[in-house]
Amino acid sequence: MISPFEERYKTEMNDVFQEKNKLDKWMDVEIALAKAHYKLGNISKEDYENIKNAKNKVKVERVNEIEAEIHHDLMALVKAMAEQAGRSGGFVHLGATSYDIEDTATALLFRDAMDIIEKSGKDLLKILKKLALEHKRTVCIGRTHGQHAVPTTYGMKFALYYQELKRNLNRLSESRKRILVGKMSGAVGTKATFGKDADKMGELVMKELGLGQAEVTTQVIQRDRHAEVLSVIVLISCLMEKIAKEIRNLQRTEILEISEPFKKKQVGSSTMPHKRNPHKSERVCSLAKLVRANMAVAYENIALEHERDLTNSANERVIFPQIFIATHYMMKQTEYILSGLEFFPENILANLNRTKGLIMAERLMIALSNKGVSRQEAHELVRLSAQKAFKEKRELKEVVKETEFADKFSAKELEDIFNPETYIGNAVKIVEGAVKD
């Protein structure tokens, strides 16, 4: 084994990109082509049946053996099918060029791969919705620039991820009409080899395969289509990284509000027995870097030369499976992490109170404005008080009691102002609306 995607990061997505499945998809296209020829009267029903039945007789080993001799993978498959089709073998691949078969089959592979991503996406949506609703009132400190800002809720975090994943799944669905197309258009896209029935030929083949027809092509289907789908998959991987990074940061020892699951016999470090490293979240973040790097190659493939060159072919054997498999693995890891996420309420509360009320400065400023003080003056008064409280390591509320504006508030009003549990705005309503189906 050379690639960790063969075992370590393997998911059911691997089955889509296995060599045998790729050859099966190529043969499905060849069979659909033969069926179209039969329907158009170009070959007999017996010829079509012989070609169709050849699929189950072709062995990957034989295809590889022929390819080693002729150095052309698609033509190796054609020869292997022809061997098994008997006297009808001469009609295999009739009128087609290699990428009539390969690009059309790639659409079939992408369809299966997208189905798997969408299924995992729906599973993640359910988990995120559950967490959002369960924690819609779990008040925590919000952070901007790495600093304590104002209170928010954990439900808001999960609702945010829910909506982003939903957008990405919508993007993926919308891209289907542009990627799920095939071609029977020949060496430079003119359909010359199919003669007067060329348009009908493409129509029959794509109907058989459940695909649309590309309106115009060169020898290949244009790579902007593939780049669009892959870019959505990359967006999904970026969201998985976003979630994992947040969990990693919130699991830091000095924060420790939440933690990814840690099994009873799990080892965190080979030398430090106490460690509870967020290694699954870190793995997700690591793979996201690889996925993004592969996306750059997909963009490079858009600008092929003239009616095509071969500079996309070799790298697509790498980037197509890697982007799909890595992202799906990240989704499965994220599902595992979120399903067993551990919360530490005492630390969530401690972090809310860590700044000794400074996080309520915004609320105090608004309250002063409501008492008739101009917004700018209120901001400056509270800023000075906050700086004093920070420098003297005192509660902001106590410092406020010594200020010239302290008499504007009753004792109860001050208590209410400095209660973070009651300063979450419409968070509960936002969460409920965001995850409403």
Residue 85 has pLDDT above 90, yes or no: yes
- Domain termination residue (choose one: 298, 328, 353): 353
- Domain termination residue (choose one: 94, 110, 129): 94
Half-sphere exposure of 87 (CA within 13 A, CB side): 3
Give how many domains the chain has, as a whole number: 3
| Closest C-alpha among 164, 133, 138 to residue 151 | 138
- What are 176-185's pLDDT values in tens digits? 999 999 999 9
Query: Stretch 63-81: mean pLDDT, rounded?
Result: 97
Instruction: Give ∠ CA 134-137-143 in degrees, rounded to 5.
Output: 110
pLDDT the model gives residue 270: 73
Query: Stretch 125-149: mean pLDDT, rounded?
Result: 98
pLDDT the model gives residue 2: 80
Query: Stretch 90-99: mean pLDDT, rounded?
Result: 97
pLDDT the model gives residue 271: 77
Residue 327 has pLDDT above 90, yes or no: yes
Read off the DSSP letter of residue 214.
P
Average pLDDT, the chain: 96
- Domain termination residue (choose one: 353, 387, 407): 353
* 342 plus 363 within the same structural domain: no
- What are 49-67's pLDDT values in tens digits? 999 999 999 999 999 999 9
**Is 370 within a domain?**
yes
* 214 plus 346 within the same structural domain: yes
Catalytic residue ranges: 145, 269
* 233 plus 349 within the same structural domain: yes
pLDDT the model gives residue 275: 79
pLDDT the model gives residue 309: 94
**Is 203 within a domain?**
no
- What are 349-404's pLDDT values in tens digits? 999 999 999 999 999 999 999 999 999 999 999 999 999 999 999 999 999 999 98
For the stretch 423-430, contacts whose Cβ atoms lie closer than 8 Å and that sit 24 or more positions apart, written own/partner, are 423/150, 423/151, 423/360, 423/363, 424/139, 424/151, 424/152, 424/153, 427/136, 427/152, 427/153, 427/155, 427/156, 428/136, 428/137, 428/153, 428/155, 430/156, 430/159
**Is 431 within a domain?**
no
Query: Stretch 278-288: mean pLDDT, rounded?
Result: 95
pLDDT the model gives residue 264: 74
Residue 437 has pLDDT above 90, yes or no: no
Residue 26 has pLDDT above 80, yes or no: yes
Residue 334 has pLDDT above 90, yes or no: yes
* 43 plus 142 within the same structural domain: no
pLDDT the model gives residue 63: 97
Confidence of residue 262 (pLDDT cuts 50, 70, 90): confident
* 32 plus 178 within the same structural domain: no
Query: Stretch 288-313: mean pLDDT, rounded?
Result: 96
* 26 plus 84 within the same structural domain: yes
* 114 plus 48 within the same structural domain: no
| Closest C-alpha among 235, 363, 208 to residue 291 | 235
Confidence of residue 263 (pLDDT cuts 50, 70, 90): confident
For the CA atoms of the chain, what is the radius of gyration? 30
**Is 341 within a domain?**
yes
**Is 374 within a domain?**
yes
Query: Stretch 162-175: mean pLDDT, rounded?
Result: 98
* 242 plus 389 within the same structural domain: no
**Is 133 within a domain?**
yes
* 236 plus 301 within the same structural domain: yes
Domain of residue 413: give its range: 358-417
**Is 281 within a domain?**
yes
CATH classification of the domain holding 333: 1.20.200.10
pLDDT the model gives residue 276: 85
* 170 plus 314 within the same structural domain: yes
Query: Stretch 183-197: mean pLDDT, rounded?
Result: 96
CATH classification of the domain holding 14: 1.10.275.10
* 287 plus 371 within the same structural domain: no
Confidence of residue 266 (pLDDT cuts 50, 70, 90): confident
The pTM of the full predicted model, rounded to 2 decimals, is: 0.94
pLDDT the model gives residue 274: 82
* 101 plus 16 within the same structural domain: no
**Is 424 within a domain?**
no
CA–CA gap between residue 203 and residue 182 (Å, rounded): 10
